Amino acid sequence: MSPPASNTEKQERNRQEKRTGYTYEEYKQTADWLLSNTEHRPTVAIVCGSGLGGLGDLLKDQVAFHYSDIPNFPQSTVPGHAGRLIFGNLNGKPCVCMQGRFHFYEGYPLWKVTFPVRVFRLMGVETVIVTNAAGGLNQDYKVGDIMVIKDHINIPGFAGNNPLSGPNDERFGPRFPPMSDAYDKEIRKLVVAIGSELGFEEKIKEGVYCGLGGPNFETIAECRFLNRLGADAVGMSTVHEVVVARHCGLRVMGLSLITNKAVMDYDSEATANHEEVLQAGKDSAKYLEKLVATVIQRIELNNNVI
Ligand code: HPA
């Protein structure tokens, strides 16, 4: 049995439980710690979705940290999310890559889920590339397609679960940030053009991603409802990171790998499962990786550190 907690420990635990966010100093402490432990100065951040961690392995001259070794960092608890932050160069551009992200369904509040995004901003990152595995709601989508995200629907946000809830820190961004231009139009065009150049234009779609809280996969009625609302793909991540990234002025590009077709028909015997998601990731990740690597090679950067 562990010894009883001291009063100081109890006070600290209470303080942690009542928190509604990180302080600016905590974001800064983590950014400074990372900058002092690597000579890399990333301008692009990549967030790897389920089964898409191979993107991190593409980086050259790697310096990697386990999340457990980084001050203030939450931990990844999901299979298919390694829990490493990798710095390195991809096609000559300095990048940082999250091999594993945090999700609402892991029990983390959204300000923890999105912690790394503001750390990246403070480190001088300008562009965030978010990737995810998603279920295809659009009947034209096939397993293995790559959806360039043109917009999102943030379902937890409808109910007030928004990472920007709570006091606003103007040093990061405004109280009421716009979201109608969340996914950079120029980069979207570039991705579609590169998909054609690389010879897999038939796999590239542009569509709307719907973010849910998870962890259960959707009911048939929910899939039909989301599709009628205008969603083309559904998943359990990404939208919170994008909201925080746009709030602090980062450019965003998003890609969904369609790992399964959402079940929309009561006669279907199919059910979604995580193993199928990871397997589809293994089979098709190479296309997504090639796309990301080529986009990174081509995007223009201007260093903007806050
Ligand atoms: N639903 C929600 N999240 C997902 C799915 C899905 O069908 N596929 C991969 N992630």
109: domain CATH number is 3.40.50.1580
- The pLDDT of 268-294, averaged and rounded, is 88
Q: Which are the catalytic amino acids?
A: 50, 81, 103, 105-106, 133, 236-237, 260, 274
Chain mean pLDDT for the chain = 92
Instruction: Ligand 1 pocket test: pick from 104, 260, 274 the residue with the most ligand atoms within 8 Å of its Cβ.
Output: 260
pLDDT given at position 304: 40
Whether 8 is in a domain gets the answer no
Between CA 222 and CA 220 the distance in angstroms is 5
Instruction: Ligand 1 pocket test: pick from 149, 217, 225, 278 the residue with the most ligand atoms within 8 Å of its Cβ.
Output: 217
- Provide the number of structural domains found in the chain: 1
- Answer yes or no: is pLDDT of 183 > 70: yes
pLDDT given at position 71: 97
Q: What is the 48 CA–ligand 1 centroid distance (Å)?
A: 15
Contacts of 121 (CB under 8 A, 6+ apart): 172, 245, 248, 249, 250, 306
Whether 151 is in a domain gets the answer yes
Give the helix ranges, DSSP H, for the chain: 7-18, 24-37, 54-57, 110-113, 115-123, 155-158, 185-197, 220-229, 239-247, 274-298
Counted residue by residue, the chain has a size of 306
Cβ of residue 244 lying under 6 Å from some atom of ligand 1: no
- The pLDDT of 53-71, averaged and rounded, is 95
- Answer yes or no: is pLDDT of 276 > 90: no
- The residue nearest atom 3 of ligand 1, judged by CA position, is 235
pTM above 0.85, yes or no: yes
Contacts of 282 (CB under 8 A, 6+ apart): 51
The packing angle between helices 24-37 and 115-123, to 10°, is 60
For residues 156 and 82, the model is more confident at 156
Structure tokens at 54: 């191979």
Between CA 89 and CA 59 the distance in angstroms is 5
Single-letter amino acid, residue 238: T
Whether 15 is in a domain gets the answer no
Cβ of residue 222 lying under 6 Å from some atom of ligand 1: no
Which residue segment(s) compose the domain that 53 sits in? Answer: 22-298
Whether 211 is in a domain gets the answer yes
- The residue nearest atom 7 of ligand 1, judged by CA position, is 135
Cβ of residue 234 lying under 6 Å from some atom of ligand 1: yes
**pLDDT category, 147, cuts 50, 70, 90?**
very high
Whether 9 is in a domain gets the answer no
Whether 44 is in a domain gets the answer yes
Cβ of residue 141 lying under 6 Å from some atom of ligand 1: no
Between CA 6 and CA 3 the distance in angstroms is 9
Whether 80 is in a domain gets the answer yes
Structure tokens at 175: 């109280």
- The pLDDT of 233-254, averaged and rounded, is 98
Between CA 66 and CA 31 the distance in angstroms is 15
Q: What is the 25 CA–ligand 1 centroid distance (Å)?
A: 35
CB 259, CB 51: distance < 8 Å: yes
**pLDDT category, 269, cuts 50, 70, 90?**
confident
Q: What is the 41 CA–ligand 1 centroid distance (Å)?
A: 34
From the list 100, 81, 250, 225, the residue with the least C-alpha distance to 153 is 225
Whether 5 is in a domain gets the answer no
**pLDDT category, 6, cuts 50, 70, 90?**
confident
